[in-house]
Amino acid sequence: MNIRSQISMVFHLDKCIGCHTCSVACKNVWTDRKGAEYMWWNNVETKPGTGYPTKWEDQEIYQGGWEKNGDSVSLRGAGKLKGLKNIFANPNMPVLDDYYEPWQYRYQDLFDAPEGDDQPIGRAVSLVTGEPMEVQAGPNWDDDLSGTPDYARKDVNFKNVSAAEQDAMFQLERMTFHYLPRICNHCLNPACVGSCPSGALYKRGEDGVVLINQERCRAWRMCVTACPYKKSYYNWSTGKSEKCVLCYPRLESAQPPACFHSCVGRIRYMGVMLYDADRIEAVASADEAELVDRHLDIYLDPNDPEVIKAARANGVHDSTIVAAQKSPVYKFVKEWKIALPLHPEFRTLPNLFYVPPLLPAMASVGEDGNYDSVNETLLVGVEKLRVPISYLASLFTAGNENKVIDVFKKLHAVRVSRRNSTVGDVSEQQLNTCMNEAGFDTHVANAIYRLTSLCTYEERFVVPAAHREESIEMLESAHDYKGNTGFGFKERPARGL
Amino acid sequence: MLDYLLFGALPYVALAVFLIGSIYRYVFKGFQVSSLSSQFLEGDQLFYGSQFFHWGIIMLFFGHLIGFMVPSAVVAWNGDPVRLLILEFTAFGFALSCLVGLLLLIKRRLTTKRIQMVTGPMDYVVYIVLLLQIISGIGIAYFGRWGSNWFAAVMTPYLRSVFAFNPNVDLIAQLSTSNAIAMLMVKTHIASAFLIIGIIPFTRFVHFLVAPVDYLWRRYQLVIWNWNNKEIRKSRNYFPGKSREFNN
């Protein structure tokens, strides 16, 4: 057993209102720079939709992630031979137009325009070339389905959804969508790290944050291709790749990242998970049907004395173990099993889990064009969901529909249980049926309800400090720098010649 | 006199600047050591230009290296005229591939607005010396036949004399003067080669010094412990931490 700690996340999609506050917080802190304007380390997508960059989930195009190769995994479009062969020009790499060309408006023209018959306008100018441009796309132009079926119909996840189900969904498409906020998953088996020819990418041993060493990055661009979530970005100005750093300076001082802190819907949870690093290869190469189960099995019970002992022996700090015991992520993912990884079939073992959106059909447009309620009661079962289960299974379970249904039964049971205790119009038989199907009692239902709806800041974010008193030691060996002040000299991020 | 400057002095200036400059840039300006890829801004034209250019120049580099390291083997191979022709035509093919690729890349850089935004003066310097180098090389192959034969008699001893700190400039002068064009090409080729070596630290040429060959034998996953608690506990370890571990 080789126990390590991993900072992990849960996003509760039923709570996401798609306000993009997380994206803006991240943009203002990290990517408001030349060469990084197009990057959204945090972005919010509308599903169904094509996402950012366009069709990022389609690995036929981008060749990202790992594929099963016997008892191990190999990179799909990168790696030693495939990667180095493409190092001079990589045909699978997304280019600027796959994201969007960033622009700014010439606001000054509004003030400087001479008096005339027409309203002055501020034209869009490219942030790359500085020339006037016709804006073709933006980072969230399929927001709220964008008033057109064009984006939704191109969603890659409809591969396994039958034509009839799709028609039913698009008949309702004006009201059937949910949001999918995405950041770097800080995977246990990161494809970006595996693909980096110069070894610039690495996973931090202490907390599992995946970072790019800006001084070692040589712009071979393999991480951009290899990351199946397209969360590694190339800065065209500095000639270095960049990615979400999980606001590690904040993490080290026991604060959640900016996107977590600013989340208006409070959909985000962050906590520590203890896992067995020796099992990564075996889990990543599991059969697709059991991929999710094997993935969740790699996380260990932080209250198990054996696990605690092994974690201590492996150098995990006591405060980290305490944080793991209070981790909201552990509750969602392991105890209640209502959070699932995004696209587990990419085999990177992501550490960001989603509580899938329970979208019950309240009403639909009938043949006569009228909008009619389809249910007699407020709470409908899993069978009347607006989104086809096969669609969500394509997102969260590599196609295993039963796993999604299991989660929905639990989420549904929580609602029935709460309805029963607050309004009391639920029959005992219905309550018992729901609880049996969910496999828990009202105590658990209340606990889920509490952490979902009434959670405090401290309950949502249980981040162990990296011990500020030792923080210099996170970066440098203190003995080497005895007598120095600060972190020594750092160079400006100037582009090479 | 010019010969002494170009073939007696320039090599040492170039090598000294190369060594000191590259080490300085790597150690103190690590952020600026990058291939500065522009594929992200323009990928379609880059594909053919970059592939033709890079594969061509890599093959030529190793061809020259073999000629320098084991000249006798090259001469022995060339003992049979058929094999000589195979060698010469293959090398000529790679040189043409290199030239075509470079011209495509130059055209791309000059005509693409986005690429212009990431183009600096040193990019043009790089193109000029590379053009000079490749065209003079092609000129030698065409006018100074057969280079792979006389390389062993002239260039290898000359280069060895340079590395022995006793440059034998006369070797270059001894080259057949019957063919003035070939002579000019050879001199240009040698001088611009040292020029390229000399400007490596000041241009994007640095990227081939950090070519990722170690990727071939390293393990895929890389975990770095900034501060390894297990090592801290060993009080006898004076410099704990800083462990780099290539596994999962």
Number of Cβ within a 10 Å radius of residue B206: 23
The torsion angles phi and psi of A40, rounded to 5 degrees, stand at -130, 90
Q: Which pLDDT value is given to residue B79? A: 85
- Residues from chain B that touch A201, judged by Cβ atoms under 8 A, are 222
Cβ-contact A207, A188 below 8 angstroms = no
Residue A374 pLDDT level (bands cut at 50, 70, 90)? low
Closest Cα in chain B, distance from residue A120 (Å): 27
Over residues A171-184, the mean pLDDT reads 79
Question: Is the CB of residue B212 less than 8 Å away from at least one CB of chain A?
Answer: yes
Closest Cα in chain A, distance from residue B203 (Å): 5
Nearest to A398 by CA among A335, A341, A477: A341
Cβ-contact B45, B104 below 8 angstroms = yes
- Residues from chain B that touch A221, judged by Cβ atoms under 8 A, are 37, 39-40
Q: Length of chain B in residues, anyone? A: 248
Q: Which residue of A has its CA nearest to B202?
A: A497
Q: Which of B43, B204, B238 sits opposite A497 (nearest CB)?
A: B204
- Residues from chain B that touch A75, judged by Cβ atoms under 8 A, are 220
Over residues A396-415, the mean pLDDT reads 92
Residue A491 one-letter amino acid: E
- Residues from chain A that touch B241, judged by Cβ atoms under 8 A, are 473, 477
Q: How far apart are CA B48 and CA B32, in angstroms?
A: 26
- Kindly report, residue by residue over A243-266, the tens digit of the pLDDT: 999 999 899 889 999 999 999 999
Q: Which pLDDT value is given to residue B237? A: 46
Q: How far apart are CA A415 and CA A360, in angstroms?
A: 12
- Residue B197, CA distances (Å) to A288, B30, B122 in order: 52, 19, 14
Select the residue from B22, B25, B26, B31 to test the A interface by mutation, using most A Cβ atoms within 10 A. Answer: B31
Q: Which pLDDT value is given to residue A167? A: 75
Q: Which pLDDT value is given to residue A265? A: 94
Q: Which of A87, A205, A495 sits opposite B223 (nearest CB)?
A: A205
Q: B227 vs A473: CB contact, 8 Å cut-off? A: yes
- Kindly report, residue by residue over A106-146, the tens digit of the pLDDT: 999 999 999 999 999 999 999 999 999 999 889 988 888 77
**Contact residues, B window 158-197, toward A, CB-based 8 Å cutoff:** none
Structure ipTM: 0.88
Over residues A228-240, the mean pLDDT reads 96
The torsion angles phi and psi of A242, rounded to 5 degrees, stand at -140, 155
Select the residue from B57, B112, B227, B235 to test the A interface by mutation, using most A Cβ atoms within 10 A. Answer: B227
- Residues from chain A that touch B242, judged by Cβ atoms under 8 A, are 477
Residue A376 pLDDT level (bands cut at 50, 70, 90)? low
Nearest to B210 by CA among B18, B34, B31: B34
Q: B226 vs A314: CB contact, 8 Å cut-off? A: no
- Residue A358 pLDDT exceeds 80: yes
Cβ-contact A5, A207 below 8 angstroms = yes
What DSSP state is assigned to residue A353?
E
Select the residue from A218, A252, A491 to test the B interface by mutation, using most B Cβ atoms within 10 A. Answer: A218
Over residues A57-85, the mean pLDDT reads 92
CA A105, distance to chain mean position in Å, is 31
Q: Which pLDDT value is given to residue A435? A: 93
- Residues from chain A that touch B202, judged by Cβ atoms under 8 A, are 497
Q: Which pLDDT value is given to residue A117? A: 92
Q: CB contacts < 8 Å between A and B, how many?
A: 174
3-state secondary structure at position A368:
coil
- Residues from chain A that touch B127, judged by Cβ atoms under 8 A, are none
- Residue A199 pLDDT exceeds 90: yes
- Kindly report, residue by residue over A290-340, the tens digit of the pLDDT: 999 999 999 999 999 999 999 998 888 889 999 999 999 999 999 999 999
Q: Which pLDDT value is given to residue B240? A: 46
Nearest to A87 by CA among B217, B51, B107: B51
Six token digits for residue A236: 């065209």
- Residues from chain A that touch B226, judged by Cβ atoms under 8 A, are 204-206, 473-475
Q: Which of B118, B238, B242 sits opposite A236 (nearest CB)?
A: B118
Over residues A226-237, the mean pLDDT reads 96
What DSSP state is assigned to residue A243?
E
User: What separation, in Å, do the N-terminal and C-terminal C-alpha atoms of chain A show?
Assistant: 48
Q: How far apart are CA A245 and CA A257, in angstroms?
A: 9
Query: Which residues are within 8 A (CB) of A452 and not within 5 positions of it... i.e. 6 or more apart?
Result: A12, A14, A15, A355, A414
Q: How far apart are CA B100 and CA A65, in angstroms?
A: 35
More confidently predicted of A387 and B41:
B41
- Residue A196, CA distances (Å) to A30, A216, B176, B216 in order: 22, 10, 50, 11
CA A260, distance to chain mean position in Å, is 12
Per domain, the residue ranges of chain B are 2-211, 213-248
Q: Which pLDDT value is given to residue A273? A: 97
Q: Which pLDDT value is given to residue A27? A: 96
- Residues from chain B that touch A240, judged by Cβ atoms under 8 A, are 31, 34
CATH of domain B2-211: 1.20.950.20
Number of Cβ within a 10 Å radius of residue A373: 9
List per-residue pLDDT tens for chain B, 248 residues long: 788 888 889 999 999 999 999 999 998 888 999 999 999 999 999 999 999 999 999 999 999 999 899 888 888 888 888 999 999 999 999 999 999 999 999 999 999 999 999 999 999 999 999 999 999 999 989 887 888 888 888 888 899 999 999 888 888 777 655 678 888 888 899 999 999 999 999 999 999 999 999 999 999 999 988 766 555 544 454 444 444 444 44
Residue A7 pLDDT level (bands cut at 50, 70, 90)? very high
- Residues from chain A that touch B214, judged by Cβ atoms under 8 A, are 199
Q: What angle do CA A267, A270, A272 make, to 5 degrees?
A: 155
Q: Which of A128, A475, A479 sits opposite B117 (nearest CB)?
A: A128
3-state secondary structure at position A14:
helix
Nearest to A445 by CA among A284, A336, A311: A336
Q: Which of A83, A193, A215 sits opposite B31 (nearest CB)?
A: A215
Question: Is the CB of residue B30 less than 8 Å away from at least one CB of chain A?
Answer: yes
Q: B36 vs A281: CB contact, 8 Å cut-off? A: no
Query: Which residues are within 8 A (CB) of A237 and not within 5 positions of it... i.e. 6 or more apart?
Result: A34, A35, A36, A495, B118
Q: How far apart are CA B57 and CA A494, in angstroms?
A: 29
Closest Cα in chain B, distance from residue A303 (Å): 21
Residue A276 pLDDT level (bands cut at 50, 70, 90)? very high
